[in-house]
Structure 1
Amino acid sequence: MHKKTQGLVLRETSIRETDKLLTVLTRDEGKLTVLARGAKRKGSRLVSASQLLVYSEMTLFEYKNRHSLDQAETIEVFGEVRSDVEMLSLASYFAELAELLSDEDCATPEILSLVLNSMHALGKLRKPQELVKAVFELRLMALSGFEPLLDGCAVCGREPETPFLNVKQGVLHCGECAEEAGEGISMPLDEGSLAAMRRVAYGDPRRLFSFFLKGEAMKRFADASEVFLLTQLERGFSTLDFYKKLISTKEMP
């Protein structure tokens, strides 16, 4: 049976001499494993669409719950992202997270849109990488059932004057209530970083990147989003390690 869908390649693995096995995040059916026969062969019509982080209109052939890529027409190749090693490594981190948190054969259009919009923000809009990374991490966690409780202090209920995010419990608390907020590390926030986190976790997905932070507020937003994600998922990511290595090398005098 043939079917059409739009999909983004999250992973490509070479198999045999001319074929690839793709992990594709589709708009209609979530994450699929797709065989791209002949995709490595020179002149193949599948060459472009079977590359990492390429978004395409795909015609898939399904037989006994297995999918193969029959035809594809590229929609977006994200050339600006792919031509910059830092942006490409960050987008690869996004892809690794999306692969982990997407379900097989279950539509997750919100996650697909988040990945696409984040790469657009990096490449076309030239938003700061630190901002895009933090927005992606926090929004993805919220979409995947790990949304932190940020309305008020989880202990006393008041708006915190000195806000903290307990990254293990996933709750906001004020400095005075730290001991009652539960086990785990608490990341310090301020007015700007807390407002950003609320906007990303609860706000309009079409306006995720329509704000700007700088200085200490940006650093606290970025640190809290990353540590919250890593703590909740209880694991690290090789793509994140590589991206951080690139950034640290760039920042060295």
Structure 2
Amino acid sequence: MMVRTKALVIKEYIVGESDKYITLFTKDLGRIQAIAPKAKKSDKGFASATQLFVYGDFMLTSYKDTYRLVSVDLIEMFHNIRNDLSALSYASYMMEFIYYVTEPGLSQSELLKLTLVTLQALSKSEADYKRIRRVFEIRALGLLGFMPQLFACVDCGLAIDEKAEAHYYFSAEAGGLVCKGCKGTYEDGVSLSYSTLYTLQYILTVSLKQLYHFQISEEVQKELDAVGNHYVPYYVDKPFKTLDFIERLEKL
């Protein structure tokens, strides 16, 4: 059967002398694996069209759970990412993240849209890689069903009041925000300023077109890092090799 779908290459590896296996995050079929026969020698442009980060319109043949690449029309290759080591590292982490959190054959078109918007943000010369990483992680977990409650205390229902300057905490165990009075119920908890709380609300509710169109202070970035370091491992139990490389790179 012939299948046509828009897809992003999130993983690639060579088999034998010239064949290549690629993992595609598709609009219609979710995550699938396909073979690109003789990709390194093909005159169909498979060598470039099957690289990591390539987004295109893929024509495939399928038999049961096996897909074979027939042709591909390129839509975006994200060249700028390949020319910057930091951008390349963060983008590679996001591909590793997507590969781990998605399931074969399960369509997750909104997550694909988020990934494409994020790659576009990483491609810009003024990209703030640390901010982009945290925005991506938080929005992705929301799309995966782990949307935290950020507008009132999870336990007592105390509504957010900016003027009251009450102190709030983010708890993955609780599933979102807890006030100072309820914090003792949970062992975890990351202290939040109102600015960081508002930023989290923005990340989870704004349209994808506006997702990366904001700036934050160093203080908010530190608190977002604390939330991410606490929130992501709670739901995604995997040590990512690409993050280890990023940490080493940033120490240079």
| TM-score calculated relative to the size of structure 2 | 0.92
Unaligned runs of 5+ in 2: none
1:171 paired residue among 173, 176, 198: 176
Instruction: Report the 3-state secondary structure (helix = DSSP H, G, I; strand = E; otherwise coil) of the residue aligned with 2:35.
Output: strand
Secondary structure, in 3 states, of the residue corresponding to 2:152? coil
Q: Give the length in aligned residue pairs.
A: 247
Is 1:215 matched with 2:218?
yes
Q: How does 1:173-188 map to 2 (within 5 A)?
A: 173-180=178-185, 182-183=186-187, 185-188=188-191
Instruction: Summarize the alignment of residues 5-20 of structure 1 with structure 2, pairs less than 5 Å apart.
Output: 5-20=5-20
Q: Could you give the per-residue CA deviations for residues 115-138 of structure 1, whole angstroms, max 9, x where no partner exists?
A: 110010111363311111111000
- Shift in Å, 1:42: 6.5
Amino acid in the other structure paired with 1:129: Y
> Aligned to 2:247, which of 244, 249, 253?
244
Is 1:24 the counterpart of 2:24 in the alignment? Answer: yes
The one-letter amino acid paired with 1:41 is: K
Partner of 1:143: 143
| Displacement after TM superposition at 1:226 (Å) | 3.5
* Aligned counterpart, 1:41: 41
* Alpha-carbon distance in structure 1 between the residues aligned to 2:33 and 2:191: 41
Q: Give the Cα–Cα distance (whole angstroms) in 2 for the partners of residues 241 and 138 of structure 1.
A: 19
Contact residue 12 and residue 22 of structure 1 kept, 8 A:
yes
Code of the aligned partner of 2:180: G
Residue 154 of structure 2 contacts residue 175 of structure 2 at CA under 8 Å; is this kept in 1?
no
- TM-score when normalising by structure 1: 0.92
Q: Which residue of 2 aligns with 1:78?
A: 78
Q: Which amino acid aligns with 2:225?
A: A
Q: Give the corresponding residue for 1:122.
A: 122
Partner of 1:199: 202
Provide, for residues 66-116 of structure 1, a one-character-per-residue CA deviation record: whole Å limited to 9, x for no partner. Answer: 101111121111111111111111001111111122221121111111111
SS in 2 for 1:176: coil
Give the Å deviation of 1:36. Answer: 0.7
SS in 1 for 2:135: helix
1:8 deviates by 0.5
1:237, CA displacement in angstroms?
Answer: 0.9
Query: Residue 227 of structure 2 aligns with which residue?
Result: 224
Unaligned segments of structure 1, at least 5 residues: none
Counterpart CA distance in 2 for 1:156 and 1:63 is: 53
Question: How big is the alpha-carbon RMSD for the aligned residues of Structure 1 and Structure 2?
Answer: 1.6
What is the Cα deviation at residue 31 of structure 1?
0.6
Give the conservation status (yes or no) of the 8 Å contact 1:13–1:22: yes
Counterparts of 1:133 and 1:19, CA distance in 2: 33
